[in-house]
Amino acid sequence: MKSVIGWGFIGAGGITKRVMNDFKELSDAKLVAVFSRTEANAVQLALPYGAKAYTDCEAMIRNPEVDAIYVATPHHLHMEHACLALELGKPVLCEKPFAPNAAQVRKMVEKARETGTYLMEAMWTRFFPVTRKVMQWVSDGAIGDVHYLTADFGFSAAENPQSRLFNPDMAGGSLLDVGVYAVSYASMVFGSKPIEVLSRSRSTSTGVDARMACLLEYENGQMASLFSSISTSTPQEVRIIGTKGHIEVPRFWSPREARLIIGDRLEDTIKDERIGEGFGYEFTAVHEDLRAGRKENALITLDESISVAETLDTLRAQWGLVYPFEG
Ligand SMILES: NC(=O)c1ccc[n+]([C@@H]2O[C@H](COP(=O)([O-])OP(=O)(O)OC[C@H]3O[C@@H](n4cnc5c(N)ncnc54)[C@H](OP(=O)(O)O)[C@@H]3O)[C@@H](O)[C@H]2O)c1
């Protein structure tokens, strides 16, 4: 792998602009190409970085200067775009949710394994120093045996049927947009898939979940209580509760701080004084994997991405939420 890795971005929307603010600070990577359906969007993103703008996705991926692909289109397009890049032998970092359902995630993983090409879900939460410290506290037994986890991720958006958040054709709804962070966090802490899932949701007028709450039970009796919403602002916090103490992680999905509390005493704190949102951490993880010749990332394995997608499927099945493209 080259010393400076050339990236091609598929999509030039909201997330790519936020990512670029952090990505441009990385010394070992550069943006070399951008694909969008809309030429002006591709040009607007590419121009300041001297990258090439494309309206032909395959031509962009085939550009020999493109060493890796970042898929940042709406959820329902992730599989198509990721598989195209994998078929052409380009490593892929694909936005969360990896795909709208487990069947699509499995196809992506099969394609990566069949072509021997790197693939990773852009579950950026895993790569923050705060998250790594939280997982160290948990595995060191700092809070004893973990019995319970709570996570909420809600924000309030005006209902707009055209927006990908509300549009069923684009796999809209709170679960896939933000609930995935909570389900993935519980998967990370408990290290497995729940054996029991209980849930309720409330629908938008467009027929996707405006909000949902669920209780997940794990093999040895551990439990997680999760809430997601696109119609309610919430604290966006994780609490991990054990027999000796608990951990609080404000804004857990891109954390700047976590607190370890034993009894009612603050035992330890970790802070991340970073500048920027922190997207650089996940890109750096991909760079390390590519340089080491790894085909997936150890902190968010492909099997775990499948397992999380299966839990998301179970939840939607309980509410009868089937997207039009799922037939
Ligand atoms: N990690 C994070 O914190 C985070 C935050 C926000 C979003 N995301 C994820 O990133 C993905 C993109 O989100 P976003 O907010 O950036 O979306 P967006 O702004 O709506 O669109 C992203 C790109 O996809 C293109 N696009 C939109 N609809 C399309 C369609 N029907 N067919 C083909 N292309 C289409 C857009 O338009 P043009 O092709 O016209 O340019 C744009 O280039 C989502 O999966 C989301 O979950 C992650």
Name the domain count of the chain: 2
Give the domain extent around 143. 126-278
Under-50 pLDDT residues of the chain: none
Pair 12, 73: CB distance under 8 Å: no
Instruction: Specify the CATH number for the domain of residue 179.
Output: 3.30.360.10
Calculate helix-pair angle for 302-319, 102-115, nearest 10 degrees. Answer: 160
CA of 256 to the centre of ligand 1 (A): 25
> What digits encode the pLDDT tens for the residues 62-75?
999 999 999 999 99
Task: For residue 323, tell me if it sits in a domain.
Answer: no
- The position carrying tokens 């852009």 is 122
> Which DSSP string corresponds to 5-67?
EEEEEE--SHHHHHHHHHHTT-TTEEEEEEE-SSHHHHHHHHGGGTPEEES-HHHHHH-TT--
- Please give the Cα distance from 23 to 21 (Å, whole number): 6
- Same domain for 197 and 69: no
Distance of CA 63 to the CA centre of its chain: 27
For residue 76, the ligand 1 atom closest to its alpha carbon is: 45
Tell me which DSSP letter residue 298 carries.
S
Which residues have any ligand 1 atom within 6 Å of their CB? Answer: 11-15, 36-38, 41, 72-75, 77, 95-96, 122, 124, 164, 177
Task: For residue 325, tell me if it sits in a domain.
Answer: no
Task: For residue 318, tell me if it sits in a domain.
Answer: no
If you take atom 15 of ligand 1, which residue's CA is the nearest one?
Answer: 14
Question: How many CB atoms sit inside 10 A of residue 220's CB?
Answer: 11
If you take atom 35 of ligand 1, which residue's CA is the nearest one?
Answer: 73
| pLDDT for 327 | 81
Give the neighbor-by-neighbor strand order of the sheet with 265-271. 196-203, 209-217, 223-229, 146-154, 238-242, 245-249, 257-262, 265-271
Task: For residue 132, tell me if it sits in a domain.
Answer: yes
Backbone angles phi, psi at 97, to 5 degrees: -65, 145
- Same domain for 48 and 32: yes
Give yes or no for a cis peptide into 97 (omega within 30° of 0): yes
